[in-house]
Amino acid sequence: MILLVPIDFPGDIDYLRDRLRKGFRTRVEVSLNGLDPKPFFNPDRRQYSSASIIERLERDAEGAASKVLAVTGLDLYIPILTFVFGEARLNGRCAVVSSYRLDNRSYGLPSNPSLLDKRLFKESVHELGHTLGLVHCNDQECVMKSSTYVEEIDFKGSWFCRRCGDCCAPALAGLK
Amino acid sequence: MTQRVSMLIVDDEPSVRDSLLQWFLQEGFRVETAAEAMEALEKMGNSNFDIVLLDIKMPGMDGIELQGRLKEIDSQLVVIIMTAYASVDTAIQALKQGAYDYITKPVDPDDLSRLIRNASEQRRLLRENLSLKEEIRSLVSTEQIVGKSPRMLEVFDAIRTVAQTDVTVMIQGASGTGKKLVARTIHSNSKRKYFPLITLNCGALTDALAESELFGHEQGAFAGARYRRKGKVELADRGTLFLDEIGNIGPKAQMDLLRVLETRRFTRLGGNAVVEADFRIISATAKDLEEAVKEGGFSEDLYYRLNVFNIRLPSLTQRASDIPPLVDHFVEKFSVAMNKPFTGVSSGAMELLTQKASWPGNVRELQNAVERAVVVGRPPIITASDFAGLVAPGGPSADVVLPLAEMEKRHIQLALDKSGGNVSLAARLLGVDKATVYDKIGKYGLVY
Ligand SMILES: [Zn+2]
Ligand SMILES: [Zn+2]
């Protein structure tokens, strides 16, 4: 089972849950009580530490879920980088993804909800892919291709390429 | 195929280390981290890395100094400096000392990923270039022994006989007869050719240094041993250890050497672990070692262990018929190198060279004479007057004004020769930094 944990997420999390269910063909549930974002806030950077979120998830996520994905509308960072779209523990249990930099409005463009949904789905699959042991892929179409700016996300596909799919098949089977 | 990139992250801040570790693990890199300088040096000593991400400001040793030490271990290492604030001065200082680039924290993810992509590409090119250079060098070296005289045909025969075996070889010959070249040719025609040929210049080896040079040392083995270092014997594993100027080695070093030749096992200085190494020995000497053994200056046991198969190189006067092909060979070599289209030497010049009564510096002296003539001569033909320095008593070039760059080139080559190809040592002799020496090696295409 995959558990989604909302942290100040303004979007439609049920829609994301349904798409992930279809994609991974496994149970996906939304945690009833989300997390309070305050402890993750860095006042100097006015951003939220993705590493602290993952640490917290690892410490206290409910037992039944094999993977835990926090979904947030907050701006995430790691110390060395100006921002991240999300973060995951390679081969781990927990990941986090943010819609903040996926939203056209943060680039001064008009809102585009369906594009935002697509991007959030891709980045969610991408971070979950890392927890399934996948590293970045050079296939342009593959969702595991690394994206460091938002348009790159639009170029790639929404699912694993054949090789990545084969690679994580055993781990995927373990989800069910 | 593409090799997996390996990276070492050095930062005293745990959150920086961890987040970079995660980031690059997801790139599919092999990643290790170190919290401080000593840990970084230790990890460098134990394993190879392509890229080091290095925080410039750390307690203990600063990033610039650490960069220097890391580069001593691997001169091709790609170092990227991380700095918390835009301190241009220190960043530029780091660049001057060979850092690949620097980043100011925090950095845009796209910039970081582009930088790392370029850095790994650079590292790949360096590695390819290095192996290509070695390949070219070994190709050249098999060609470079020029000559058809009866004495040289004997030498070629001997090389052919012994190269494919693992037999210990001793090369005897006066200075400038090409002992190093013969050693290289044997190695590059042996089954060990894909593994290193490690040269130990025994002339520069004092008894005090011998043990750590040969066997390496563990961190803390003595004052100044701040990290583990592999010795020449360990570096030569699966390859060939070439002991140049073996006749100049001190009594203590003779014993150390004898011990490892007998057992092929040793311990690093300050360590207990027994290390095994599989290497072939080629030694070279200009001295008559048999004489030295009789006089008690050289260990008899060591002599017999080294002198299993003996190759004696003739002096240039003993192979005078090789002078014309050697001259042609050097003219071609230096014409290409200096981009001066010479077709050869005049008959008068050739006569001068073949009639010369003695060549105390042997082939090297001849090579130097041709090189100088190519510098001063005017294409297409080198004439006898271009060899003016040669006939003048008191040695060549005393009265010829050479271009400054030519002097610099020769001087650096001399330092490299004296240091047995050890760039650090050559830099110290010249009183400049290693980067400068590497720079000139590239500029002049020097051999070391
Ligand atoms: Zn990723
Ligand atoms: Zn893929």
Higher pLDDT, residue B19 or B446 = B19
A93 vs B contacts (CB less than 8 Å) = none
Shortest CA gap B106–chain A (Å): 5
Closest CA to B66 of B21, B130, B9, B124: B9
> Which ligand is closest in space to the CA of residue A143?
2
- As a whole number of angstroms, the distance between CA B244 and CA B181 comes to 11
ipTM above 0.90, yes or no: no
How far away, in angstroms, is B135 Cα from ligand 2 center? 36
Residues 6+ positions from A73 with CB-CB distance below 8 Å: A8, A9, A10, A11, A98, A99, A100
CB contact under 8 A, B26 and A136: yes
Contacts of A130 in chain B (CB under 8 A): 26
The CATH homologous superfamily of the domain defined by B143-312: P-loop containing nucleotide triphosphate hydrolases (3.40.50.300)
CA A129 / ligand 2 centre spacing (Å)? 10
Q: Nearest chain A Cα to B20, which residue?
A: A80
The proportion of chain B whose per-residue pLDDT surpasses 90, expressed as a percent, equals 24
Q: Which of A156-160, B76-80, B400-404 has the highest mean pLDDT?
A: A156-160
- The alpha carbon of residue B107 is apart from the nearest alpha carbon of chain A, in Å, by 5
Instruction: State in Å: Cα A156 to ligand 2 middle.
Output: 10
Determine the distance separating the centroid of ligand 2 and the alpha carbon of A130, expressed in angstroms.
Answer: 11
State whether residue B82 is helix, strand or coil.
Answer: strand
pLDDT range class, residue B406, cuts 50, 70, 90: confident
Which CATH entry fits the domain spanning B2-137: 3.40.50.2300, 3.40.309.10, 3.30.360.10, 3.90.650.10? 3.40.50.2300
Say whether A82 and B82 touch across the interface (CB within 8 A): no
Q: Which amino acid is at B389?
A: G
Indicate if the pLDDT at residue B324 is higher than 60.
yes
Model confidence pLDDT, tens digit, residues B146-176: 888 999 999 998 898 888 888 899 999 998 8
> What are the tens digits of pLDDT across the range A37-53?
999 999 999 999 999 99
Residues 6+ positions from B439 with CB-CB distance below 8 Å:
none
Q: Matching CATH topology for B143-312 and B316-444? A: no
Q: Alpha helices of chain A — where are they, by DSSP H?
A: 13-24, 50-60, 113-131, 150-155, 162-175
The shortest CB-CB distance from B105 to any of A49, A79, A87 is to: A79
Q: Is A151 a catalytic residue?
A: no
Domain range holding A46? 2-175
A44 touching chain B per CB within 8 A: no
Q: Which of B422, B429, B440, B447 is nearest to B213 (CA)?
A: B422
Residue type, position B136, single letter: I
Contact: B109, A88; criterion CB under 8 Å: no
Sign of CA dihedral A9, A12, A14, A18: negative
Cα A121 → chain centroid: 8
How would residue B131 be classed by pLDDT, with cut points 50, 70 and 90? low
Is the per-residue pLDDT at B4 higher than 90?
no
- The residue annotated as part of the active site, out of A55, A123, A127, A141, is A127
pTM: 0.52
B47 to chain A, any CB pair closer than 8 A? The answer is no
Q: What residues does each domain of chain B span?
A: 2-137, 143-312, 316-444
Task: Determine if residue A134 is left, alpha or beta; phi over 0 gives left, psi from -120 to 50 gives alpha, anything else beta.
Answer: beta
**CA–CA gap between residue B242 and residue B437 (Å, rounded):** 23
Q: What is the mean pLDDT of residues B181-186?
A: 91
- CATH of B316-444, picked from 1.10.10.10, 3.40.50.2300, 2.60.40.10, 1.10.8.60, is 1.10.8.60
In 3D, which of B130, B226, B242 has the Cα closest to residue B182? B242
Q: For the ranges B247-256, B365-374, B400-409, B430-439, which has the lowest average pLDDT?
A: B400-409
Q: Is the pLDDT of residue B439 over 90?
A: no
- In the predicted model, is pLDDT for residue B60 greater than 70? yes
Is the pLDDT at B384 greater than 50? The verdict is yes
CATH of residue A166: 3.40.390.10
pLDDT reported for residue B86: 56
Domains of chain A: total: 1
A54 band by pLDDT with thresholds 50, 70 and 90: very high
Q: Which ligand is nearest to the Cα of residue A168, counting in written order?
A: 2
Measured distance CA(B32)–CA(B49) in Å, rounded: 9
Angle of CA points B36, B433, B435, to nearest 5°:
80
DSSP code, position B68: H
Average pLDDT, chain B: 83
- Whether residue A27 lies within 8 A of chain B, CB to CB, comes out as no
> Any idea which ligand is nearest the CA of A165?
2
Say yes or no for a CB contact (<8 Å) between A80 and B110.
Answer: no
**Phi, psi for residue A96 in degrees, rounded to 5:** -140, 145
Yes or no: say if B215 and B266 are a contact pair by the CB < 8 Å rule: yes
Q: Is B115 on the interface with A (CB under 8 A)?
A: no
End-to-end CA distance of chain B: 30
Place of tokens 């798409």: A19
Q: Report cis status (omega within 30 of 0) of the bond before B380.
A: yes
Mean pLDDT of A151-176: 91
Tell me, what's the pLDDT at B87? 63
pLDDT by residue (tens digit) across B169-179? 999 999 889 99
